[in-house]
Amino acid sequence: MNTKKLTTTAIRKLGIAVITKELGPAGMIRFLEQYELGYGDYTKERKFISRERVRVRGKKK
């Protein structure tokens, strides 16, 4: 197969199809989860997240 003629989208779809065939749907998801790039700055955001959780939990009581 000449991958130079395939678009990025076509390569991605083909790759997911092959992974799904070999690992099954659950295995494909587990594989793809390893490559989640994420976004943002967790170091800065975790302080806000922690404060927000405390505030929300305090309201539940």
pLDDT at residue 30 in the model: 92
Q: At residue 56, what is the residue type?
A: V
Confidence tier at 29 by pLDDT (50, 70, 90): very high
pLDDT at residue 27 in the model: 94
Domain boundaries, the chain: 3-60
**DSSP secondary structure letters along 9-58:** HHHHHHHHHHHHHHHHHHHHHHHHHTT----S-HHHHHHHHHHHHHHHHH
Compute the chain's Rg from CA coordinates. 20
